[in-house]
Amino acid sequence: MISLAPDPDLIRVGNCSGFYGDRISAMREMLDGGDVDVLTGDYLAELTMLILGRDRMKHPELGYAKTFVRQLEDCLGLALDKGVRIVANAGGLNPAGLAARLRELTQELGLTATVAHVEGDDLAPRAAELGLGEPLTANAYLGSWGIVEALGSGADVVVTGRVTDASVIVGPAAAHFGWGRTDYDAIAGAVVAGHVIECGTQATGGNFAFFREIADMSRPGFPLAEIRRDGSSVITKHPDTAGAVTVDTVTAQLMYEIQTARYANPDATARLDTVALAQDGPDRVSITGVHGEPPPPDLKVSLNSLGGFRNEMTFVLTGLDIEAKAELSRRQLESWLPVRPAELTWDLARVDRPDAPTQQQASALLTCAVRDRDPDTVGRAFSNVAVELALAGYPGATLTSMPGKAAPYGVFTAGYVDRHKVPHVAVLPDGTRVDIPPADETRGLEPVRDPGPPEAESGDDGDPGPTRNLPLGAVAAARSGDKGGNANIGVWVRTDAQWRWLARALTIDELRRMLPETAGLPITRTVLPNLRAVNFVIEGILGQGVAYNARFDPQAKGLAEWLRSRRIDMPASVAATGIDVEESAL
């Protein structure tokens, strides 16, 4: 146990980054805006590891988040003055290199700061022997105990490679309270708090379905978690910042990128079906009741490979005979190509409308995407043919942009490795290397029993009475996200009556009806009564991950909003307690 905060029973952990490329000024905003004991940042999405891998191929000394260095150049002195520790996974593929660069930076700034790092996650050199193939990057998701060791050494700044997003929050809490490896409930509570704040302003109103209810969305403040000794927490933000922290904004982030009721982390598995949320005052939401279990025996591994090269072209089809124009374009382009690419897909977006008042509203978009191992096949050869169609094809032919060059694309897959085969090392400021032992106790992620629909009340069963056919979003909020080639959609409502209807109405079959693109794909539904929520995991809808770019929304960010826009029959009594939606949707 070490003291990271003046209150032995509370630690305030803030967040200043939800992804590589997030608001560069957020670190200073969090340090200037109010009290915080530890400032954390998450820089590593699945796509980021591929970006850093390609970066490292060109510059072996890099492979880390360069924006983090810029932030510390501006803010390290301020953090030291305020006694704020900084913990971030910005080390990416080269945490040792980032730590060395930060030590150089402290000297350049004339400061005295100690820097530690955590390593061991990079399995690329051993990928083949571990049965992971020969990927460009292979990084195991480590937990928080290396961070705990580094903070215990007195480090002012701790940088890691691929740890789980929540681990940068769990580590400071575990260090401050002296939690043991089997304090599963407390650890799981911190995991949930970490999951809520690790994506930055997504917890304070960003990417939020009911955004029109938030008075000021000009520049949402970043979130912080006040974590208590028992693992319970309050999610809040600095005063006088935009956005909001409500039960709904916190629920939205809780539902982001989850799988089942068991939310696995390397240090504990949090049971999301035990989470209880409550408004604790303006911009304050309490998280209590989280039950934790031993972590799974295997560690997840993020694998990124270079899949080949891709290119695409979008044709604008205007006015009449849209389907015939699209078919002519397909026949011509495919027959003119000197070599057919390994993958060639067409997508016709009928965004046109009849008798349109503007040319744009009279136009549909036809996109041809190609992929191949040979860059010339999807580069010059493909682009030349697309341009040659301009005067020889459908009437009114035009393109949304001029042809581009073939671009490399990546393929993400998830692997799993016995945790005993993965090193976990804390490298302290004086260079001492401390091996972090794997967990002694583990538990597999067996399915959680479906609690079934909530008990009906008078009027809930039998004849539902008058119904209305409305967009789901008239009563429900939703949040969606990506995990490799899969996507999740979490849907929740606000009242018990809405919940009794939603839990019965929004089945897997109904989801397939509402989202026809899910036809033939495996779907899993998880019911979370405490949150009045259902979560769906749709396998394979994103192809081989965001870098593969199989859909126009490759990270499934808008998937939930599409679902909310789709119509469903609901009792008039349920509809009456919904929210206002645009008249055009009614």
Helices 95-109 and 66-82 sit at what angle, rounded to 10 degrees? Answer: 50
pLDDT score for 458: 58
Query: Which residue numbers in the chain have pLDDT < 70?
Result: 457-464, 581-586
Q: Write the CATH number of the domain with boundaries 311-405.
A: 3.30.70.380
pLDDT score for 56: 87
pLDDT score for 463: 61
Greatest alpha-carbon pair distance for the chain in Å reads 76
- Sheet containing strand 523-528, edge to edge, reads 477-483, 486-492, 533-538, 523-528
**Tens digits of residue pLDDT in 151-186:** 999 999 999 999 999 999 999 999 999 999 999 999
- 47, 39 in Cβ contact below 8 A? no
pLDDT score for 397: 95
HEC string of 176-245 equals HHCCCCCCHHHHHHHHHHHHHHCCHHHHCCCCCCCHHHCCCCCCECCEEEEEECCCCEEEEECCCCECCC
Closest C-alpha to 468, from 581, 345, 382: 581
pLDDT score for 327: 98
The residue type of 319 is G
pLDDT score for 224: 98
Q: What does residue 401 show for φ and ψ, rounded to 5 degrees?
A: -160, 165
pLDDT score for 402: 84
* Cα-trace Rg, the chain: 25
pLDDT score for 518: 96
- 554, 548 in Cβ contact below 8 A? yes
Where are any strands of DSSP class E within 373-406?
398-399
Closest C-alpha to 260, from 500, 566, 539: 539
pLDDT score for 462: 53
Q: Report the alpha-carbon distance of residue 193 to residue 416 in Å, rounded.
A: 25
- At residue 567, the 3 state secondary structure works out as strand
Q: Which residue has the tokens 């994103």?
A: 542
